[in-house]
A and B are shown apart, each in its own frame.
Chain A
Amino acid sequence: MQPSDNILSIEKLTVQFRSGGRWITAVQDVNLDLADRECLGIVGESGSGKSVTALTVLGLHPPKSTRIASGRIRYQGRDLLTLPPRALGRIRGAEIAMIFQDPMSSLNPVLTIGDQIGETLRIHQGLGADDAQKKAVELLDMVRIPDARRRVAEYPHRLSGGMRQRVMIAMAIACRPKILIADEPTTALDVTVQAQILNLLRELRRELGMSVILISHDMGVISEFTDKIAVMYAGQVVEDAVGAGLFEQPMHPYTDGLLRAIPDIDSDTARLATIPGSIPDPGRPPEGCRFHPRCPEAVPTCRQTAPAMIRLSEQRQTRCPPRAARRSA
């Protein structure tokens, strides 16, 4: 894979937060590539650092309590982390857009849908009020909101959760972004509405030629939607894969454990497999491999040496040396 294929590259990113007077590492040494028109899935449990990574791309962390200890985020030949705020502001929302889990808190309750979509257009494209309103109706049509002409004048509380998320998507695609970052976009929605929203995202991605980063805790959503998957645990990417290989043959014991712990809707399970213990305290990550205290396959070296990512093939990388060794043997 040539570097020029990538529209976005996150390189050796380490992000820290200030907590109780000290710096806690939320994301450590993360490398991710997003190719043009590709969909990258980041999956992990709470505290894995998946959302932090995404917010860093857009520079959305409070500067006082956050620091980027190392790394680069390359977008079209520029490093987003060193870009002046004004230049980043031009990219954010226009070229790289984002949608969140809770559409209600992302919408202003005292402005109509049309006003809010229009605002993005006025800021980034300098449209006048009338044009912005007209364009807002078009966008609502694009996200399949029925009766867009009437809906554009409504306030967010009149809409259902699914409709609000459609409005958020309309705002996100208003400026035809090259990249859409979706952070748990369907987690708050019912499963039938989730299917609608995922379908909509799939269609828009094709229509607009967007690249997408989809962040989710739901392996099913990730599996059905994405081309490339990164699994995060305790601030690190522990495994990544292109295609469905990750689900067929996980190369990290954490991925394996996670997949086994998910109940299967298509068969009767007698008992779920579990991962013992719980997620480590981000302030005190374990020595060596971060997963070793919960890992059934841990060997003595896992306790001592922090493993680096190991490339297994063009498609696969893992942070588990024992599994990598077994595979090549």
Chain B
Amino acid sequence: MTAPIVEVTNVSKIFPMNGTRGRNAQSLHAVSNVSFSIAAEETLGLVGESGSGKSTVGRMLVGIYPATSGQIRLFGRDISGDAAKANLKAVRRRLQFVFQDPQAALNPRMAVGDAIAEPLDITGGFDRRQRQARIEELLDMVGLPRSAVRRYPHEFSGGQRQRIVIARALALQPDLIVCDEAVSALDVSMQAQVVNLLMDLQAQFGLSYLFIAHDLAVVRSVSTRVAVMYAGSIVEIAPRRALYESPSHPYTRALLDAVPRVRGVAKPREMLQGEPPSLIDPPTGCRFASRCPLVETRCRVEAPPVRTVGSGHQAACHLI
């Protein structure tokens, strides 16, 4: 196996809170001590509930937010250290991002062709003909007619707009695309089309994805490996089959249990009570302790170590 293209080591992100200064200053511990890697042509699914920090992780990866501590290496370059700016610039062409809401991700006053060509225009070095040819090629790739070039985003449905956003992301032939809830805003029938498109593009161009989503079923269908986040930390990470078939963290188990099933009989489930802890003043021990059905005394005091439970399968829990 070649070196991973993404290596995230002990990364934390703390946001200062607005309106609090000096001694009363509060901060939001959005991401705490997160580590993972992504190999070439691999999809890492990142699941978690709202506020789990999964979206912040994705944004740190493309440089929207700098990490507060820890190291993020992309394609072997450190984008979190001293040379962050230069290194980020060097890898920028190879990175892209697909947003949740295709409506907000497209400038309503920019024609579709210009939107798709924006990364080309920013990078420069394409003449008119090359630019036009590339736009048409990209529209073909995502299954939109070439007549879309001069149209505006509001003329398209949600699913089509997400195709436009994907075409823009592909413009410079990136190696890594962060998909942040990329199909969550779409209806089921559109969602399946876009998921398949993403899979086809991966096979065709050898892309890697960080696929961030709250929908566990969608994540299972697209991912090679899956990481589960809770209250800013990764609680479990495993190859997809291992994670879904033999989850070892009590949170992962509860999360999988909570998803209503269409097929098969509803099994009596043990329901998780309460809600995630506040991240302004996160608990010292295990962050899941307040809701965990198996909680013990040490869970509330001591942060759980990361334990290996199988090949590529790790979980952070005292009870494993």
Contact = CB atoms under 8 A, between A and B. Distances in A.
A265 B195 CA distance: 15
A272 B159 CA distance: 16
Given A192-B258, A221-B260, A268 B220 contact: yes
A264 interface: yes
Given A193-B275, A220-B262, A224-B266, A262 B217 contact: yes
A265 B245 CA distance: 10
A266 B159 CA distance: 26
B21 interface: no
A261 B189 contact: yes
Given A45-B189, A268-B220, A272-B192, A191 B259 contact: yes
A265 B219 CA distance: 9
B109 interface: no
B191 interface: yes
SS class of chain B's interface: helix, strand, loop or mixed?
helix
Contacts of B160: 278
Given A160-B275, A264-B217, A274-B193, A217 B49 contact: no
Contacts of B256: 265
Given A271-B196, A274-B193, A278-B160, A263 B217 contact: yes
B199 A223 contact: no
A199 interface: yes
B291 to A, nearest CB: 8
B268 to A, nearest CB: 11
Interface in A163-207: 163, 190-196, 198-199
Contact of B220 (A161, A224, A257, A263): A263
B269 A195 contact: yes
A316 to B, nearest CB: 18
Q: How large is the interface on B (under 10, 10 to 19, 20 to 34, 35 or more residues)?
A: 35 or more
Given A194-B258, A195-B258, A264-B217, A257 B266 contact: no
A23 interface: no
A278 B190 contact: yes
B261 A279 contact: no
A259 interface: yes
B157 interface: yes
A258 interface: yes
Nearest to B188: A261
Interface string A132-143: 000000000000
A272 B221 CA distance: 8
A265 B259 contact: yes
B244 interface: yes
B36 to A, nearest CB: 21
Contact of B192 (A190, A191, A221, A261): A261
Interface of B: 49-50, 157, 159-160, 187-193, 195-196, 199, 214, 216-218, 220-221, 240-241, 244, 254-264, 266, 269, 271-273, 275
Given A191-B259, A219-B262, A266-B264, 5 more contacts: A195-B272, A223-B262, A224-B261, A262-B192, A265-B259
Top 5 nearest A-B pairs by Cβ distance? A220-B260, A190-B49, A263-B221, A45-B187, A261-B192
